Structure formats: C-alpha cells, structure tokens
Homo-oligomer: A and B are copies of this chain.
Amino acid sequence: MDSITIHTSTNQYQVHIGQKIRHKVPVFLSKHYPSILIITDSVVADLYLEDVKRSFSSEQQIFTAIVPAGEASKNKDCFFDLITKCIDSSLDRHSLIIALGGGVVGDLAGFVAASYMRGIDYVQIPTTLLAHDSSVGGKVAINHPQGKNLIGSFYPPQAVVYDVETLYTLPEQEIRSGYAEIIKHGLISDEVYFEDIIQNGSINKLSNSILMDHLLKGIAVKAEIVEKDEKESGQRQYLNLGHTLGHAIEAELGYGAITHGEAVAIGLLFAMKVSETVYSEDFPYQRLKNWMKKNNYPLTVTGLDEQALIGRMKKDKKSKNQKVQMVLLKSIGKPCVHEVDDRLLMELLHKFLRELVNH
C-alpha cells in the first residue's frame, strides 16, 4: 500500500492506494463516527457496497443512499434529495458521509457533505480510474443545465481510500475516461511520464504494476499542484488542460452522451492544436491522436455547433470579462493560461472539428 499526504489551507489528509483496502475503511479514519451515510450509485452498489458496510463495527449506524449511475445524477434534485436523506437519517455534525464510486458520486456526495449543516466530514472511496483525479483536491460540485460544476465548493475530504482492485471491474469506456486525465497529468508535468503512457499502447492490457505506477504519478502531480494553489487562482488552473472544450462538448451533447474523460481527450487534442498556433511549437499531436484511436476514444463526434461550443467555453469558470481563457502548453510539462481571441478560436475550432471527422 502507498500513501500520499495532501496539505490544504485548513487541514491535511491522506490518499491511501492499495489492494483490497475497501475491506478495512475504519483503519484510515482518525475519528470514530457513530452515524455514517454511504452514498453510491446503482452500478457500484452491487459490486462494493456490502464490502464497505461490513468494514464497520456493528455499533455504528450505517445508512445508504443509491443514486442512478451517470453524470445526470449531479443535478439539483438529486442533491436536495440526498440532503433530505441526511436529515431523515438524523445525521449531525459528528456524522460521516462516504462517497463510494466514481467522480460523479464523489462530486455529488462531497457537495452534500460540504453543504449539510454547513459542512460535515466525508471520505472518498473512488472506484474508477477517473476518480484518481477528482477525489484529490477537494473540488466538489453539481451541474447546472447551462454548465458543468457551476454550483459547488472547495471542501477537502478527511481521507481518500483508493482500492485499485475495484478498477479491474471497470468497463472499457471508464478506463478510457480515466486515462484521459492520466494523459493530462503527463502533459502538464513531464514528457517522460507522458511518453511512458502513450508508448504503453492499449490501456486494457496494462499490468498491475504499470497501472499503479501511472496512477501514483498522476495523483502526485495533482497533489503537488493543489497544495500550491488550493482555490484555483493560479497553477491549479493548469489541471483544466483540455477541459474548456471538454466541458463544452459534454454540455452540448447532453451529459452522459460520452464520458467526461472522452470529452477531455478531444479537448486535449484541441489544446495541442491551439498551443501549436500560439507558441509555434511542435507537439506529438498525431501520435496522441493515434493512441486515442487505438484505445477507441470517440473522436469523430458529429453535430456539434461551433458557435454554441464557444458560447459554452465563455461560461467556463476560468473565463474573464467574457474572453475564453484556455490552458495551453508552451511545451510538454510547461502549461500556461492564455486568453484566446474569439476570431482565432472560431477559426481553429472550425478547422479542428473538420479534421477530427475526416482523419
């Protein structure tokens, strides 16, 4: 088992990564909680809910709430129903919420924990690759019909308990989704790490040790950045590489049409294209695209309206005075935030989307 400590402005917490650790959750908690609400989704519940429940002692009251699997659950009604569940379960400020699942459950349950009684403790037990990213850093949120994560908070968990065994039951789409963020962590941090990922070929055939290595490096990249900039005023924005267009695509297609990571993958390719133009630098665009194709990323998404996408990009949380601020790369490992002129953005986006479909 490995552990990484994350320091925040208000506390510190540990990310534990290991095999079968979902069976011993209390070991990783610094307090005894009389009441615990486990929030999970309909898919994960069948696989791991009993394991996590059984890890607690019989004198602890364990409540469960199961939301439908998928991004659509990050909505206001689901959020409000979960608050009602907290009240009905008589949770108080000494209770714990456990987010058992992927990024959707983590974001949703985390925002419930952040808002219920102005904040109670919560623990993340991620069960997807993608959640190696979202479970670290304390960003929690729900979606608004007009944009992703527009309603939320910075609210760090008490601990992250990451049982890699749960990753082997993931469908291929989820692995793709998670690897987009791993690729992103490579792109913003280190060319060697990035090359190591894309040279490994098919993500479905990775050995346990290579997967653990990619994950640990990804978490370390994320941890280093969020420690330096918890509230996203500077460096933390780099973690949004690929997300400005990615979020816009997700919203335009309707949440759930493709996964978050699949949308981010397209966003990463676009960020490379824009970076090439802005900084006159060469990037391994075609090699990355080939890797994505080999791993069946849905790159030829049709029916996207360019104006509508740009409108969405302007509603991004990084935007300033209604100008799109994109994270770009000066080179691999050297991210920066750049204000992209509307006209240039339109031109590059038009060309990019056409090329995606055609090649």
Contact = CB atoms under 8 A, between A and B. Distances in A.
Contacts of A154: 118-119
A141 interface: yes
Interface stretch (A125-133, A254-262, A279-287, A319-327): A319-327
Contact of A317 (B76, B118, B139, B153): B118
A147 interface: yes
Interface string A299-324: 00000000000000011011111100
A279 B241 CA distance: 61
Contacts of A170: none
A144 B84 contact: yes
Contacts of A315: 87, 90
* Chain copies in the assembled complex: 2
Contact of A153 (B90, B118, B144): B118
A91 to B, nearest CB: 10
Contact of A151 (B83, B93, B232, B314): B83
Interface in A74-121: 76, 80, 83-84, 87, 90, 92-94, 114-119
Interface in A127-157: 139, 141, 144, 146-147, 149-154
A317 B93 contact: yes
A9 interface: yes
B152 A118 contact: yes
A92 B317 contact: yes
Nearest to A325: B92
Given A76-B80, A80-B76, A84-B144, A114 B317 contact: no
A169 B93 CA distance: 39
13 contacts: A9-B9, A84-B146, A87-B144, A90-B322, A92-B317, A93-B318, A115-B115, A115-B152, A116-B151, A117-B152, A118-B149, A118-B232, A119-B231
Given A76-B80, A87-B147, A116-B150, 19 more contacts: A10-B10, A34-B321, A84-B144, A84-B146, A87-B146, A87-B315, A90-B315, A92-B317, A92-B320, A92-B321, A115-B115, A117-B150, A117-B317, A118-B149, A118-B153, A118-B154, A118-B232, A119-B153, A119-B231
